[in-house]
Amino acid sequence: MVKQPLRGWRRSVAQIYRVRNLEGYRKRNTSYQPTRPTPIPIGERRKPRPEGRPGYLRIDTVHQGDGDGAKGLYHINAVDEVTQWEIVAAAPHISEHWLLPVLEQMLEQFPFVIRGFHSDNGSEFINYTVARLLEKLFIEQTKSRAHRSGDNGLVESKNAAVVRKHLGFGHIGAQHAEETDQFHRCYLNPYLNFHRPCAVAHIVEGPNGKRRRTYPRWATPLEIFSQTPECEKYLKPGVSLASLQQFARERSDTEAAIAMQQAKQKLLARVKHSA
């Protein structure tokens, strides 16, 4: 008598995979556990509340492209929410070792006391090293809320209107970070804050309660700051409004723009020559 094989005993590997792909099998034999987010107790998730006072920054990074597998440099862009005073810097990398000195020199370039520091949730800013620096300087740190893409919209719009407009999207190697940062410090930042007009938003509320922004006038960040009530009390020790206005008068807007463009062309020519 020949023994019959047990029912279901002989199954090919392909048949087993077909069974496992059936919806009924997955429902009965598979369990899923969603990824649990790890809360990071750095910064508060909320929109900054400057209440008309300068010194509340929005900050973001802009990567200057990859080339032949090598990472390009990073621009760090910081914009004051009230006056639109803007400081751009460059770093070869955005690790803590490289970013911290750049942040310190950026904060020093602002003429007024910094009170708030708002970023997205990227690890380049949401870490304990940056948190200790801001705590030492008594600067409040906040970060963007979930599903609120406009929380950091001001600096993101400046990324396109300023950084991408002047430096483009092409690759600039990390080895050029120092000379690019010098261009920002000596030419681009003075031009942006003393000679380039910005659209000044005015909020209008309609009969239905909806609020919309209009842009009835244009002014440089220095002019916006000088029109802030009691503006001089926000300045850092040793900085006066008269000295800032004197610096702005040393060059006309056209002269500052020409000098910035010439310096930019020299920088990009050196970058292209070394490529």
Going from the N-terminus, what domains does the chain have, and what CATH number goes with each? 55-274 (3.30.420.10)
pTM score: 0.83
Distance CA 78, CA 110 (A): 10
| Spans in the chain with pLDDT lower than 70 | 1-11, 29-32, 35, 37-39, 275
Strand, helix or coil for residue 205: strand
Closest by CA to 239, choosing from 252, 226, 256, is 226
Dihedral angle, C-alpha 107, 110, 114, 117, nearest 10 °: -60
| Cβ pair 256, 248 in contact under 8 A | no
Distance CA 141, CA 57 (A): 10
Strand, helix or coil for residue 175: helix
Model confidence pLDDT, tens digit, residues 178-232: 999 999 999 999 999 999 999 988 888 888 888 888 888 899 999 999 999 999 9
Range 32-36, long-range pairs (CB < 8 A, 24+ positions) = none
Distance CA 138, CA 127 (A): 16
Across 53-171, the runs of DSSP E, i.e. the strands, are: 56-63, 66-67, 70-71, 74-80, 86-91, 116-119, 140-143
